[in-house]
Amino acid sequence: MASSGLNKTRKFCVYVHPKAGDVTRTWHVIDATDVVLGRLAVQAANLLRGKHKPTFAPHVDGGDFVVIINAEKVAISGNKREGKFLYHHSGHPGGLKSRSVGEVLDKNPDRLVEKAVVGMLPKNKLGRAISSKLKVYAGPNHPHAAQQPVPFEIKQVAQ
């Protein structure tokens, strides 16, 4: 019996395979002032992956460059500033270190935002290539004015 190409339990997804030269990358600048960290990370990850483009394919790096400014003014909802901890281990016995989100935000706000966005990308070679197009700065200034970045407004409900 021949198959008709469409199984009743599986649906086929057809992707346009953009070539490396066909991908046009634009630069977006996002102001993180008073934007909740998770909502900022979702929007930035979608722009980086290229999910807003009609030529999206999950196995192709077809996204745009994203510049995030004012990372020090990002909003942390709830009591996560003091109640949520970020952990890392030195590799030695008893070497588990922890810092609260507030401590990381005070010391390295750009790393906190970058970790949130990179955590929403694929965990493979493609994800590492995509994450290299993310630029995060703690203050309002960035050195990418020559690329003429387009402002990207994040629409969020009031907190």
Here the tokens at position 42 are 């979702």
pLDDT in tens, 113-138: 999 999 999 999 999 999 999 999 99
State phi, psi for 71 to the nearest 5 degrees.
-65, -25
Q: Identify the CATH number of the domain defined by range 27-76+108-151.
A: 3.90.1180.10
Q: Is the pLDDT of residue 50 over 90?
A: yes
Q: pLDDT at position 18, please? A: 79
Q: pLDDT at position 26, please? A: 96
Q: Is the pLDDT of residue 3 over 60?
A: no
Contacts of residue 110, defined as CB under 8 A and 6 or more positions apart, other chains included, come to 71, 136, 137, 138
Here the tokens at position 15 are 């992707």
pLDDT in tens, 81-123: 999 999 999 999 999 999 999 999 999 999 999 999 999 999 9
Q: pLDDT at position 15, please? A: 73
pTM: 0.87
Burial of 24 (0-12, 13-18, 19+ CB in 10 A): exposed
State phi, psi for 134 to the nearest 5 degrees.
-100, 130
Q: Tokens 């709830």 correspond to what residue?
A: 78
Q: pLDDT at position 156, please? A: 75
- Domain residues of the chain, as ranges? 27-76+108-151
Give the three-state DSSP class for 26. Answer: coil
DSSP code per residue over 103-139: HHHHH-HHHHHHHHHHTTS-SSHHHHHHHTTEEE-SS
- Sign of the dihedral through C-alpha 33, 130, 143, 21: negative
The helix or strand, by DSSP H or E, that contains position 66, with its residue range, turns out to be: strand 65-69
Q: pLDDT at position 5, please? A: 53
